[in-house]
Amino acid sequence: MKKNISLIGVPMDLGQIHRGVECGPGVLRNLGVIARLQSVNCHIIDCGDIPIKRPFRVENKGTLKNLETVIEVSETLAKTVDAVVMQDRFPLILGGDHSIAIGSLAGISKHYKNLGVIWFDAHGDLNTNETTLSGNIHGMPLAVNLGFGHERLTGLYNYWPKVKPENIIIIGVRSIDPGEEELIRKKRIKVYTMDEIARIGISKVTEEAIQYLKDSTDGVHLSFDLDVLDPAEAPGVSTPVLGGMRFDESRFAMKILAKSNLITSLEVVEINPFFDDENKTARLAIDLIESLFDH
């Protein structure tokens, strides 16, 4: 894996309803994520934060909240990530809520013929404007990148889809809406629920994911939502779900992925310091990021 890393902060909270998640990039920087990566021989360029123009109130566009702002931020992020990949550097994107994956993958996927995606998350993030119960776009990015949902989101950066269903693996999910279940079934998306992880172990899950993607993809984007962890260990998230992964399981998965040399980009999202316990969750996130490059 490349150790020439460009760090991009996306202080976005408009894909959901909870304030605080916009502080994620700043907290990770303040707690020393750059120094930790430098300690494992990474060369870091900090590209700063994508600017966010906060509306005075929630913008409702049909069933979707803050659609215009999410589109604007996603386009800017896509251009920034695109430039990083063109410089042959590893994009490390720090959120912010998971709606940022719309812009991340738009900027990354154009450089690959068959981009793989490993998606650690308690949720499926496969809702569309037709199936969403909340209107929160952070519950839609995986569907959007598959080409399902609002046309202005799916068509971002003037191409679609960004990823094929057979190149996606979701790990750690335990909260899926009916519309998401239907999409998973119809498109045969590979999913490892928490029940499956408990049954066969995270080592086997991660090894199977590597085997599944290594010959069919030419790059793999890793999207890590901190709510995949159990809230007893990682309370600092906006949408916690009981029964999640243990931290030691997730770190072990990162180490296995590091050795595979498959990961070509990383985003870490949904850290909410307002709900955290003395930055416990943010510190775990830094440990996980370091584990991916410490090899």
Catalytic residue among 97, 180, 225, 276: 225
Q: Given 123, 180, 276, 290, which residue is catalytic?
A: 123
Check if 121 is active-site: yes
Q: Helices (DSSP H) in 101-176: which residue ranges?
A: 101-109, 141-146, 151-154
Query: Which of 13, 22, 125, 180 is an active site residue?
Result: 125
Residue type, position 121, single letter: D
SS3 assignment, position 294: coil
Q: Which of 22, 82, 97, 98 is catalytic?
A: 98
Distance CA 192, CA 184 (A): 12
Q: Which of 180, 270, 276, 290 is catalytic?
A: 270
Catalytic, 138? Answer yes
Pairing verdict, β 90-95 and 43-49: unpaired
Q: Are 285 and 35 in contact (CB under 8 A)?
A: no
The answer to whether the CB of 244 falls within 8 A of the CB of 231 is yes
Between vectors from CA 45 to CA 44 and to CA 48, what angle results, nearest 5°? 125
Contacts of 243 (CB under 8 A, 6+ apart): 174, 194, 230
Out of 22, 121, 180, 276, the active site residue is 121
Burial class (CB in 10 A: 0-12, 13-18, 19+), 63: middle
Query: Is 123 one of the annotated active-site residues of the chain?
Result: yes
Residue 144: closest CA among 158, 154, 134: 154
Catalytic, 125? Answer yes
Alpha carbon distance 106, 147 (integer Å) = 11
The owner of tokens 């386009």 is: 75
**Exactly one of 13, 22, 49, 138 is catalytic; which is it?**
138
Distance CA 265, CA 1 (A): 9
The catalytic site residues sit at: 98, 121, 123, 125, 138, 225, 227, 270
